[in-house]
Amino acid sequence: MSILNEISVNLQNGKSKIVKALVQQALDEGVKPADILNLGLLDGMNVIGEKFKQNEVYVPEVLVAARAMNMGMQILKPHLAEEGVTAKGRVCIGTVQGDLHDIGKNLVRMMMEGKGLEVVDLGTDVSAETFVQTAKEQDCRVICCSALLTTTMGVMEEVVKAAEAAGIRDRVKIMVGGAPVTEEFCRKIGADGYTVDAASAADMAVAYCKGE
């Protein structure tokens, strides 16, 4: 088994300490940082994402895989920066104002990072203005809004309106998700994308960042 394959497999198994050690070992052996990222870490997250979509793995497996990826990235990041390896796009994500629930939002963030996107995590209780201002200032191609509560999902419509008012609606896609959110709701408020799971949300964000 190649070391990149080992990184991928151990990441899929959520073995964070082993992944961290393997990433260091790969660097020491002269493997290109971009290959460690793409063929090791992101490959492993990709497999987990696909299995999650197919209900072959569940939230815990995603959480431990994402933690393993983060451990690997701690070692890898400075080397990626040195080589000028850039993210596939930048998105901002947050749980909408009035809502503090962040498990779903974090899952989506992890999946997006696992697809090679740079994610600006705004946390929870995020106002429409903050979403839009962040997208504007940090040149995010996608705004992702999460809500757990039927009482807070209305804020998502405010985000769409705020993006229009700020004049960035034509260059930013708005994705919505969370327990009470549906495709119908997404269309109704004029957002661009809704998916049924976190892994599909990451695929959609990558496509948006590519301009598809």
Partner 1 sequence: MNNRERAMNILHFRSADRMPAVHFGYWRELLYEWAEQGKISRALADAWHDSNEADRELDRLIGWDFNWATTVGCRNGLSPAFEQTVLEVFPDGTRRVQTHNGVIERIKPGIVSIPSEDDYLLKDREAFETLFKPKMLYYPERVNVEYFRRFNEERDPDRPIGLSVGSVLGRIRDMTTLAGMSYLLYDEDEELFADIVDTYAEMQYQCVKAVLETGAKFDFAHYWEDICFKSGPLLSPDTFEALCGKHYRKRNELLHSYGIDIISLDCDGVVGKLLPTWVSSGVNTMFPIEIGVWGDQFAAAREKYGRQVLGVGGMDKTAFRRDRAAVDGELARLQTLADLGGFIPCPDHRLMPGSDFELVRYYAEKVKEIQIHSQTI
Q: Tell me the closest approach of the beta carbon of residue 157 to partner 1, in angstroms.
A: 15
Question: Is residue 15 near partner 1 by the rule CB under 8 A?
Answer: yes
Question: Is residue 157 near partner 1 by the rule CB under 8 A?
Answer: no
Which CB, 53 or 173, lies closer to partner 1?
53
Question: Is residue 109 near partner 1 by the rule CB under 8 A?
Answer: no
Q: Tell me the closest approach of the beta carbon of residue 72 to partner 1, in angstroms.
A: 14
Question: Is residue 203 near partner 1 by the rule CB under 8 A?
Answer: no
Q: Footprint of partner 1 on residues 51-90 (CB under 8 A)? A: 55, 57-61, 63-64, 67-68
d(CA 138, CA 147): 23
Question: Is residue 14 near partner 1 by the rule CB under 8 A?
Answer: yes
Buried b (16+ CB within 10 A) or exposed e, 20-37: bbbbeebeeeebebeebb
d(CA 48, CA 66): 9
d(CA 106, CA 92): 12
Which CB, 123 or 167, lies closer to partner 1?
123
Residues that bind partner 1 (CB under 8 A): 13-16, 55, 57-61, 63-64, 67-68, 98-104, 124-125, 148-152, 179-180, 196-197
